Amino acid sequence: MANSERIKITLTLPAEVVRAYRIQAARKGLHDNVVVEEALRKQLGVGLFETLPKLSGAKFATEEEADAFAVKAVRAVRAKRA
């Protein structure tokens, strides 16, 4: 995860979600905020562009090629869900 500016926020979450991330944090020996940040990054696709070449084994000459690859991959996943 990249070190960047941190912003403190307040969220209201269901008790079951809070329990789940606290249990996950305890099992991994991490702070709660690390588990929540990892989950949000994954769900929102934050940093996906940087990790895409590693995940796919592909090398892209341009950002446009990477974007086209990502769009194709998302469409393939969505098609499997349908």
Q: What is the DSSP letter of 62?
A: S
Close Cβ partners of 47 (under 8 Å, ≥ 6 residues apart): 1, 2, 41
Sequence length of the chain is 82
From the number of C-beta atoms within 10 Å of its C-beta (0-12, 13-18, 19+), residue 60 rates as middle
Query: Which regions of the chain are under pLDDT 70?
Result: 1-3, 48-58, 61
Structure confidence by residue, pLDDT tens digits, 3-26: 578 899 999 999 999 999 999 999
Is the pTM above the cut of 0.75? no
d(CA 10, CA 58): 39
Please report the pLDDT score of residue 53 as a whole number: 57
Contact 27, 34 (CB under 8 A): no
pLDDT at 51: 60
